[in-house]
Amino acid sequence: MNDFDQLQSNIVYIHSQVQTKAIHAINQALTLRNWLIGMYIVEFEQNGENRAQYGTGLMSKLAKSTHIKGLSAPEFSRCRQFYLCYPEILGTVTQEFKELLPKSILGTASQELLPQKSVVDRHKISRSRQKLITQIITKLSYSHIVELIKVSDDIKRTFYEIETIKGTWSVRELKRQIASLYYERTGLSAKPEKLSEITQAQISPQAPADIIKNIYAFEFLDISNREAIEEADLETALLDNLQAFILEMGNGFCFEYRQKKILIGSDYNFIDMVFYHRILKCHVIIELKVGAFEHGDIGQLNTYLNYYKEEILEESDNDPVGILLVAEKNHALVKYATAGMDENLFVQQYLIQLPSKNQLEAYINNELRRLI
């Protein structure tokens, strides 16, 4: 290896190492911020003199008054749950974060800091547990933790903590393994270590840089998804031009959102594109899928329509309409979801005002020929 090759190798290595450290530092700061927020909320609930004034509306009151990006009422509740599930994190808090602890906590021995009315037992934290907690904070993203705190059983949650760290699982993989009953299957296996070996071998480890590419990190750093995520994929390219295509048609379309984030239950969903039609006085929700049509695609779109009916619809609005675009090479399929519209004339009015099936098919086919 000549001197230049060595220099190049050193620079790449330094960049990789420092980038990884920076990513983990950002993730750890986000995680500890949310844990501290949870601690303050629990402390207020247990010791605050005016806590009864807010009651169950505390989280909504906080969301409306703090105006911090990403901290909605459900997220404040999630921070609270995070603290109650992981009170042992106090033992990992560095001096700079300890200065942020509530005054009522300062000076309290770390082993005594369990919430006063927590579901967590007030037993002494073992050295091995404390070591695992440190790894959870330093190696997992907050998005991982969001999935872990949904697991109510402590032993089951610990199992997934260990497996996720050991296999450097992505959040998607963690969710998949929980849904596949990996914990229960391990308990039923005659050779659980063999099942673990097979499972881990089938999983692609998450790269350190992937940790930063989650919704919590984007909001914490106050940047948008589109500023941070690569946009070379086919679906993104199609959506980029679809937005302009729809607006150029006129007919009353007003653009509202791209990748609209909505919280349904405990999971975030992202709607590809949302318009408001000023003539029809309704929202138009567009979902695009690159690949073959599956029955679940309509179900997903219908879920978004129902969400808009329940959460977004104003009194002067008509029911939302959904358009599903399914793109395949040399093929385009367009489906309208107009469920819930009782009057046939109204449905026909939708179809007159919206882009025609032929127009949408022509758009998809032209774009695919250009991009592929």
Residues 155 and 18 in one domain: yes
Residues 213 and 254 in one domain: no
Do the domain assignments include residue 355? yes
Residues 152 and 248 in one domain: no
Do the domain assignments include residue 222? no
Q: How many CA atoms lie within 13 Å of 287's alpha carbon, on the beta-carbon side?
A: 22
For residues 292 and 290, what is the distance between their CA atoms, to the nearest angstrom? 7
pLDDT digits 0-9 by tens, 233-276: 566 767 777 777 777 766 788 889 888 888 888 788 889 889 99
At 159, is the pLDDT very low, low, confident or very high (cuts 50, 70, 90)?
very high
SS (H, E, C) the chain: CCHHHHHHHHHHHHHHHHHHHHHHHHHHHHHHHHHHHHHHHHHHHHHCCCHHHCHHHHHHHHHHHHCCCCCCHHHHHHHHHHHHHCHHHHHHCCHHHHCCCCCCCCCCCHHHCCCCCCCCCCCCCCHHHHHHHHHHHHHCCHHHHHHHCCCCCHHHHHHHHHHHHHHCCCHHHHHHHHHCCHHHHHHHCCCHHHHHHHHHHCCCCCCHHHHHCCHHHHHHCCCCHHHHCCCCCHHHHHHHHHHHHHHHCCCCEEEEEEEEEEEECCEEEEEEEEEEECCCCEEEEEEEEECCCCHHHHHHHHHHHHHHHHHHCCCCCCCCEEEEEEEECCEEEEEEECCCCCCHHHHHHHHHHCCCHHHHHHHHHHHHHHHC
| Domain finish residue from 184, 217, 250 | 217
State the chain's mean pLDDT as an integer: 78
For residues 199 and 193, what is the distance between their CA atoms, to the nearest angstrom? 10
Does position 149 have pLDDT exceeding 90, yes or no? yes
Residues 38 and 102 in one domain: yes
Both tokens of residue 270? 């992202």
Does position 168 have pLDDT exceeding 60, yes or no? yes
Q: Tell me the chain's radius of gyration from C-alpha atoms.
A: 25
| Single-letter residue type at 314 | E
For residues 163 and 205, what is the distance between their CA atoms, to the nearest angstrom? 12
Residues 208 and 356 in one domain: no
Q: What is the CATH number for 234? A: 3.40.1350
What is the domain extent for residue 161? 3-217
| Domain finish residue from 189, 217, 245 | 217
Q: Give the number of residues written for the chain.
A: 372
Are 42 and 226 within 8 A, CB to CB? no
At 227, is the pLDDT very low, low, confident or very high (cuts 50, 70, 90)?
very low
pLDDT digits 0-9 by tens, 28-79: 888 999 999 999 998 888 875 555 555 668 888 898 888 888 888 888 999 9
pLDDT at residue 158, as a whole number:
93
What is the rounded average pLDDT of the residues 268-295?
A: 83
Do the domain assignments include residue 338? yes
pLDDT at residue 78, as a whole number:
92
CA distance readout (Å), 149 to 91, 298, 351: 19, 30, 45
At 342, is the pLDDT very low, low, confident or very high (cuts 50, 70, 90)?
very low
Both tokens of residue 49? 């003199």
